[in-house]
Structures are given as C-alpha cells and as structure tokens.
C-alpha cells in the first residue's frame, strides 16, 4: 500500500496580528496514529518545507495518544522540524493527501499552486483527497484538468462559522470556509458545533472540526483497504 501525504502549515500568526497560531497538533497526531495502527506509511509536507509551528491552544486538547506520538523523535523531526517541501514530493508515491488544520492554514493553503498540483496528481492516480477542520482551505482552489473547481458539486464539510464564533476568532479569520466553498459550487454540510463529523463524496473525504480527525482517517483506511 502506498503512503499518505500529510499537509501542514508554516504560518505562525493570525494574519497581521501578534496572536500565535499554527498546526492543530491533534489533527495530525490522531490521523497519523490511525494510519500507524494499520501499517500505513506517512510523510509530511508544508508549503515552505521545514519548521511547522503548533497552535498553542491545541496543546490544551491533547490526550495520552497524542502525547505519545508527539514525544517520538521521528514525529518531531519529520512532522514538525523538517517537513518536506513540495518540490521534494513525488505524488506517485502516495495513495492519499490529507490537509491538517489549525487556523494558520487559512493563510498559506488556499493559493499554494505546488500543493494543488500534488493533490490533483494523487487524485488523478485514483487516490484520495482528504482534509479536516480548517484544512478544507487547501481544497478551495483545487481545479480539475478542465479548469473547474474540484469541490464543485461535491458534498464536503469543514470548520464552521458557528465554531469560529465559539472559538472567538470570527473577527480575525480572512474568510469563512462554508461561504468560500459554496462560492465554488460545493455542497457544504455541517452538524452541531464541535461534534465529530466526517463525510465522503467519491474520492473526497472531509471532517468538520478537530474532533473529526480519527473519523476521517478511518474512512480513508476503509477505502484504501478496498482498493
């Protein structure tokens, strides 16, 4: 079985503010934990390569399984210190791409053409495109070979406006995921704020919030096992 490519942010602050953000640790760690249970290899990439900052708020939501992975030298080096750059990635090596979230991704995922090319090559190879929470920002500008938005006509989910309000971030985010997805023709579904929710539409698998990472992983695993 081919590996899965995990995409993470390099952004350290909310836009022009002094407030720290970055990767939501659990969204990578819980996903990777599920992959490892099934013996599925994982690599990590970020728009710039190298260092990936952690959203400090995400450390309030760690559990024993997240900390166990976080404390391993392999995870620290490959997922947080020395992530691959897009130029170092061969899309043919992967069965799926997974966009992890954290608010930072809203600034560096949507317009990264190198990551877009990788994602669509994986999809063209009969692979899967997946995301959780704010990671959906990486899907917004994906386009197929005909130049049409990849999410057009597809049912997806991601971090909601209600969840932004509850997180107190509605005034600092550059956009709302649902509004941008619907502008591109997506059918955006959501459930109660912060409830675990993941959905699949063909080769596209998305999760609503940080508590949906394992559900996205399990959906993907089921599909990979059936290929």
How high is the pLDDT of residue 188? 98
Above 90 in pLDDT, residue 219?
A: yes
* Per-residue model confidence as pLDDT tens digits over 152-203: 999 999 999 999 999 999 999 999 999 999 999 999 999 999 999 999 999 9
Q: Rounded to an integer, what distance in angstroms lies between the CA atom of residue 103 and that of residue 164?
A: 10
Q: What pLDDT sits at residue 226?
A: 86
Please say if the pLDDT value at position 227 is more than 80: no
Instruction: Give me the pLDDT at residue 65, please.
Output: 97
User: What average pLDDT does range 112-140 have in this prediction?
Assistant: 98
pTM over 0.95: yes
Would you say 85 and 108 are in contact if contact means Cβ atoms under 8 Å apart? Answer: no
Give tens-digit pLDDT for 21-53.
999 999 999 999 999 999 999 999 999 999 999
Average pLDDT over residues 4-13: 98
| Residue 1: CB atoms within 10 Å | 12
d(Cα 198, Cα 207) in Å, to the nearest integer? 4
- Nearest alpha-carbon partner for 190 in 174, 212, 166: 212
Burial of 147 (0-12, 13-18, 19+ CB in 10 A): exposed
* 37 secondary structure, DSSP code: H
**Is pLDDT at 83 greater than 90 in this prediction?**
yes
Average of per-residue pLDDT across 83-102: 98
């Amino acid at each position: 079985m081919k590996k899965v490519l995990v995409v993470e942010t390099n952004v350290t602050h909310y836009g022009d503010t002094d407030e720290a953000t970055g990767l939501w640790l659990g969204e990578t760690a819980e996903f990777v934990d599920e992959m490892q249970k099934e013996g599925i290899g994982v690599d990590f990439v970020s728009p710039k390569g190298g260092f990936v900052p952690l959203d400090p708020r995400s450390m309030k939501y760690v559990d024993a399984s997240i900390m166990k992975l976080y404390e391993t030298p392999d995870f620290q080096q490959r997922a947080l210190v020395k992530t691959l750059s897009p130029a170092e990635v061969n899309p043919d090596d992967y069965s799926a791409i997974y966009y992890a979230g954290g608010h930072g991704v809203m600034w560096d995922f949507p317009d990264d053409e190198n990551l877009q090319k990788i994602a669509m090559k994986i999809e063209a190879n009969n692979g899967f495109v997946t995301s959780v929470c704010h990671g959906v920002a990486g899907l917004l500008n994906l386009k197929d070979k005909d130049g049409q938005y990849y999410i057009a006509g597809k049912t997806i989910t991601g971090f909601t406006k209600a969840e932004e309000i509850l997180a107190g971030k509605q005034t600092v985010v550059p956009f709302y995921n649902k509004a941008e997805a619907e502008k591109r023709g997506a059918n955006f579904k959501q459930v109660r704020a912060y409830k675990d929710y993941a959905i699949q539409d063909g080769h596209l698998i998305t999760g609503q919030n940080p508590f949906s990472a394992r559900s996205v992983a399990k959906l993907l695993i089921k599909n990979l096992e059936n290929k």
